Amino acid sequence: MDIDASNWNEDDNSNTTAAPDGAPEGMAPSGVNNVLRAIMGALKRRRNWGAPKTTGGSATAYTLTYGVAPGALVDGMAHLVQFNVANGVGATLNVNSLNPIPIYYHAAGAWRAAPPGLIDVDEIWRVAYHATSATYRLLDLRNRTGEVVPFAGSAAPAGALFCFGQVVSRTTYAGLFALLGTTYNTGGEAGTDFRLPDLRGRVVAGKDDMGGSSAARLNTMASTTLGGAGGAQTAPLSVSGPVTVSSGSVGGTFAGSVTSVGINVQGGADATVAAIGSSVAGTIATNPITSNGGNTLTGTGNVVQPTMILNYLIRI
């Protein structure tokens, strides 16, 4: 007798199966103790299924063993499982040798086979048997497939991959492929694969027409195309104002305050600030270099914003 079994009925008056599976009207006194014992056993087994139980087996073939085995696989039967190892491809769970059942999770609008690395070692998840699909479904797992987030660690955690433009399997990461498709492919991928976004050395900007209309804020690049890229580390600069030249030789420096138009420093330089009212400094790149207080300084400026380097994750 188990609570999940069909001989338990939510209508009290329908539990009339013969003892110990029920309590029929006019039941012999000798059957009362059998019914009470059966109820106590069933409740204790249900309590044990709701407490964390560590699996045995391997990353692709987990096993779970209780002192008293469930009578059968019943739709909705749930267990609280502590996984002994991170999952591999096509992982299954076998409770008391009732059958190895595939483990599924919800991603991109559908229940799919858990991709490798979704479950971490010693993580605890509720699983429920789904009779129609003959799978164990991971419950309480938030659907975050395709979410990209910065990450301060050096190794991708369970449930995520780094975003460095790598090629992965469409079958293994079916949820990701359902969302990304071939958007980030660059050519040369096999028909069974697709490519993840490549965020090496890049910052992320909102899609310019996200929501339907373009804000026209990044018109110098493909800002309305998902995966569009652009920008550069440096850009040509032109600054004006009185400039003090500390040395006239290559490798020397110049410095000053940008106040007005009409000053020229010749010879090539690296100007870091171009706004009137700001300071300007750089290193002399070529000879000759002169300053007479009445011309224009041109060079190449660094346009990289103050930046901290982190990894980027994409949820699987």
Largest CA distance in the chain: 117
Q: What does the pLDDT read at residue 261?
A: 41
Lowest mean per-residue pLDDT among 7-21, 117-131, 180-194: 7-21
- Find, among 68, 67, 90, the residue nearest to 136 by Cα: 90
The yes-or-no verdict on residue 189 having pLDDT over 70 is yes
3-state secondary structure at position 61: strand
- Find, among 161, 118, 160, the residue nearest to 141 by Cα: 118
* 256 Cβ contact partners less than 8 Å away, ≥ 6 residues apart: 241, 242, 243, 244, 279, 280, 281
- Look-up of token digits 């492929």: 177
Task: Summarize the confidence of residues 84-93 as an average pLDDT.
Answer: 98
Question: Distance of CA 208 to CAs 36, 84, 159, 228, 305, Å?
Answer: 67, 45, 29, 11, 20
Instruction: Enumerate the H helices of 18-109 as residue ranges.
Output: 29-49
* Angle at the Cα of 127 from the Cα atoms of 53 and 119, rounded to 5 degrees: 80
Q: What ranges do the domains of the chain cover?
A: 12-49, 53-138, 148-195, 238-299
- Find, among 27, 178, 206, the residue nearest to 106 by Cα: 178
Phi–psi pair at 37, nearest 5 degrees: -65, -40
The yes-or-no verdict on residue 203 having pLDDT over 50 is yes
DSSP string, 87-107: --TT-EEEETTS-EEEEEEEE
Q: What does the pLDDT read at residue 233?
A: 81
Q: Could you report the per-residue pLDDT of 253-268, keeping only the tens digit for each?
A: 666 655 544 334 444 4
Residues 285 and 123: beta-carbon distance below 8 Å = no
Lowest mean per-residue pLDDT among 1-10, 53-62, 251-260, 302-311: 251-260
Q: Is 10 exposed, middle or buried (0-12, 13-18, 19+ CB in 10 A)?
A: exposed
Q: What does the pLDDT read at residue 306?
A: 87
Q: Could you give the CA distance from residue 316 to residue 112 in angstroms, rounded to a whole number?
A: 11
Partnered with residue 237 across adjacent β-strands are 299
Residues 136 and 130: beta-carbon distance below 8 Å = yes
Q: What does the pLDDT read at residue 256?
A: 61
Peptide bond into 20 cis (omega under 30): yes
The residue that leads in pLDDT, 133 or 258, is: 133
The yes-or-no verdict on residue 245 having pLDDT over 70 is no
Q: Could you report the per-residue pLDDT of 165-178, keeping only the tens digit for each?
A: 999 999 999 999 99
Q: Could you give the CA distance from residue 109 to residue 148 in angstroms, rounded to a whole number?
A: 18
The residue that leads in pLDDT, 279 or 234, is: 234
Q: What does the pLDDT read at residue 114?
A: 98
The yes-or-no verdict on residue 292 having pLDDT over 70 is no
Q: Could you report the per-residue pLDDT of 8-24, keeping only the tens digit for each?
A: 888 999 999 999 989 99
The pLDDT-based confidence of 116 (bands split at 50, 70, 90) is very high
3-state secondary structure at position 255: strand
Peptide bond into 288 cis (omega under 30): yes
Task: Summarize the confidence of residues 109-121 as an average pLDDT.
Answer: 98
